[in-house]
Amino acid sequence: MKSLQLLLLLFVSAITLNAQNTIKESNVFSMDGNVETMRVAPGGMLLVGTSDGLTAIEAHNKNVVFQFKAFGKIKPEELTLLDNLPYVVLTRGYSKVILNYFTGKEVFNSSKDGWGSVFMVHPDYTYQKIYMLGGTAKGYSLGVFDMETLKNENTVSFTDKKTMGAYIDVTKYYESNGKLFVRTEKGIVCVDKKTFNIDWVYDDLDKATPYISVITDSEKGLFFVTESDEKKSLLHKIDNSGKRTTKKPEKLEAITQALSITPQGLLIQMVDTKDSYFQMYDLQSGVNKWEKPVDIKGGIYFTEVKESNLYYASNNGLINSLDLNTGKTQLKKEIKTGMWFKSIVLLENDLIFYITGSDMGIANLKTGEFAKEPTKFKKATNLISSYDKKNDRFVVSSGTKLFFIKNDGSSTKVMDINFKENETPLRIEYRDNGILLGAKQNNALISYDGKIIYESYFKAPGQSLLGKIAMVTVTAALMSQSVGQNMNNNYKDARYSANAATGLMGEMNKRFNATKNTKNFLYVLTKLNDGVGLVKLNKDNGNKIAELLLKDRKPAYEVDDQFGILYFKNDKKQLTTFDLR
């Protein structure tokens, strides 16, 4: 679901709406209280927080779905959506209420369900559970709830003050290999994710250390916990009973940044104020295996373990790999690129693709040589990139130029980008007939062989200083129409659709399957002949399909571009919807 919030703050008292062409007013909704906040929710829903409660409106439905008034006035910060789930969490102090926003059914109420406080709500899509940390009549507890029904399946209470101390950290937990770990005043508690029994309690962590990392291979009885503060960093090796297997914790070089269990041992990535470090520790004894830690200047941008090698890139513009058996770098001289990486993808055949703020290219991690001469950016105003699966290549915009780069390192400048109003592309989307580059006021469709199909530009509406500030929100929201730009995931085709097979998600999937046509349109806020308005464009040819003229000079509205509907606040207590399909 992609949504955008369009707020334009100018100063005129009268409010008038006119629709042109095919964009017509569809429904008017009168609220019982003043509209305080609006939030588009996945699946074609608008959640409206009012001074009287929460109201849910469904796209293209003339009836209000439900009203929830038990909380009274709903502030924006009190309303949270759970990713990939049809649940809205309402928070008031330490209390939480969870509603199914398709039906309005109250599936959890901390006050009614015996929870005096709930601090954290976290979905576990793998196990189809929702975990909550907070307090019950028994004390600090972890609640385990079925993801589809929110039925409380188990409650783990942390009541042993002798081994746990007086409190637990209720803001987060740690998980690894089928285990949950909860930080206590004295140490850490291990909870099994299948039985939700407490496996063990470890009570020898410093209660003042703020940084904790946990990793386990529970089948082999391997548990590792690191604790760090500004003065010391320690590694604790723990067995299946919660006992430390060494006389004392192992000292680390710096604060733990990442842990990995590899065939060679426990790999720890660490960082201090200047450098980064790698060290390998024996899985059985917990002592370091390499003669000394590998010291990398600067912060680490990228790491990936592949077979017996660790590939890494530092923000200083250095790329290399480590032999995990010896801790020695594979290349005597690191591959030197520009500084501050924007993206890195590990390719096949020991090749690595990179983009920095000043250049891009493909290098060979075996030889240390570049596949082709790197492409230098004379002026990189806003670098964005994406992987073109159809043609097995990368598409890169430097803000002023568009490039195609193949896996062999050959780079082709496709075109100069001349977006007006000093805009640069903010999104890349793949269409059947080409590659769509988009910004707030400018859009361009480029064929897959690099020819311009169309370019479109609509002048930005005149803005006061307040209006310009508000339009920052518009820019970010408009760009949410784009396909995700995570190139590494796109390259590996590893996108994950959480919980897609459950009955709970069936309704959401059904709703999104019915919105395919709405993904063919763009919506641009611009200045029309008679005032500010919204223009609807066809993505594939750039043709203007319709206009919606807004004579209101203080509009607040939401557009759900997935479901083709605009929600307009035309009065303190009234919303009008417009069909954008």
In what order do the strands lie in the sheet containing 318-323? Answer: 300-306, 309-314, 318-323, 335-336
More confident residue, 175 or 531: 175
What residue ranges do the domains of the chain occupy?
378-457, 464-476+515-580
The least confident of 92-101, 428-437, 492-501, 502-511 is: 492-501
Helix then strand then coil, % of the chain, to nearest 5: 10, 50, 40
Class at the top of the CATH hierarchy for domain 378-457: mainly beta
The residue assigned the tokens 């058996």 is 325
- The pLDDT, as a whole number, for residue 361 is 95
Q: What is the pLDDT of residues 562-581, one digit of tens each?
A: 888 888 888 899 988 888 87
Token pair of 243 as six digits: 């006992």
Mean pLDDT score of the chain: 85
Region of residue 545 (phi > 0: left; psi between -120 and 50: alpha; otherwise: beta): alpha
Q: What is the pLDDT of residues 476-485, one digit of tens each?
A: 333 333 333 3
- The pLDDT, as a whole number, for residue 271 is 94
Q: What is the pLDDT of residues 133-192, one digit of tens each?
A: 999 999 999 999 999 999 999 999 998 888 898 888 988 899 999 999 999 999 999 999
What distances in angstroms separate CA 285 from CA 235, 249, 278, 469, one per listed residue? 11, 11, 18, 58
CATH fold group of domain 464-476+515-580: Thrombin, subunit H (2.40.10)
- The pLDDT, as a whole number, for residue 576 is 87
pLDDT level of residue 527 (50, 70, 90 thresholds): confident
Percent of the chain with pLDDT over 70: 86
Average pLDDT of the residues in 16-21: 41
Residue 126: CB partners within 8 Å, gap ≥ 6?
none
540, pLDDT greater than 80: yes
pLDDT level of residue 76 (50, 70, 90 thresholds): very high
Element at 162 (helix H, strand E): helix 161-164
Give the burial string for 495-519 (b: 16+ CB within 10 Å, else e).
eeeebeeeebbeebeebbeebeebb
What distances in angstroms separate CA 223 from CA 156, 232, 243, 491, one per listed residue? 21, 20, 10, 33
Token pair of 563 as six digits: 């479901």
pLDDT level of residue 20 (50, 70, 90 thresholds): very low
Percent of the chain with pLDDT over 90: 67
Average pLDDT of the residues in 250-258: 95
Residues 19/548, Cβ–Cβ less than 8 Å: yes
Average pLDDT of the residues in 21-34: 83
Determine the Cα–Cα distance for residues 349 and 334; give it in Å rounded to an integer: 18
Neighbours of 169 (CB within 10 A): 17
Q: Return the closest-CA partner of residue 257 out of 245, 267, 248.
A: 267
More confident residue, 31 or 469: 31
- The pLDDT, as a whole number, for residue 569 is 87
Token pair of 160 as six digits: 């042993």
> Exposed/middle/buried for 223, CB within 10 Å: 0-12, 13-18, 19+?
buried
- The pLDDT, as a whole number, for residue 19 is 37
Q: What is the pLDDT of residues 329-364, one digit of tens each?
A: 999 999 999 999 999 999 988 999 999 999 999 999
- The pLDDT, as a whole number, for residue 483 is 32
Q: Using alpha carbons only, how large is the chain's radius of gyration in Å?
A: 27
**What does 112-148 look like in DSSP terms, one character per residue?**
TTTEEEEEEEEEETTTTEEEEEEEETTEEEEEEEETT
Determine the Cα–Cα distance for residues 154 and 174; give it in Å rounded to an integer: 18
323, pLDDT greater than 70: yes
Neighbours of 255 (CB within 10 A): 21
- The pLDDT, as a whole number, for residue 452 is 96
Determine the Cα–Cα distance for residues 223 and 225; give it in Å rounded to an integer: 7
Q: What is the pLDDT of residues 182-230, one digit of tens each?
A: 999 999 999 999 999 999 999 999 988 889 999 999 999 999 999 998 7
Q: Return the closest-CA partner of residue 274 out of 235, 305, 300.
A: 300
Q: Return the closest-CA partner of residue 170 out of 227, 224, 211, 131.
A: 131
The residue assigned the tokens 């005149």 is 462
Residues 471/459, Cβ–Cβ less than 8 Å: no
Common-topology check for domains 378-457 and 464-476+515-580? yes
pTM of the model: 0.82
The least confident of 162-171, 210-219, 252-261, 409-418 is: 162-171
- The pLDDT, as a whole number, for residue 503 is 53
Residues 219/192, Cβ–Cβ less than 8 Å: no
Residue 164: CB partners within 8 Å, gap ≥ 6?
158, 184, 185, 186, 187, 189, 201, 203
> Exposed/middle/buried for 59, CB within 10 Å: 0-12, 13-18, 19+?
buried
520, pLDDT greater than 50: yes
Token pair of 433 as six digits: 């007939």
Greatest mean pLDDT among 206-210, 453-457, 499-503 lies in: 453-457
DSSP state of 329: B
The number of residues making up the chain comes to 581
Residues 425/439, Cβ–Cβ less than 8 Å: yes
Q: Return the closest-CA partner of residue 225 out of 275, 271, 176.
A: 176
Token pair of 138 as six digits: 């028994």
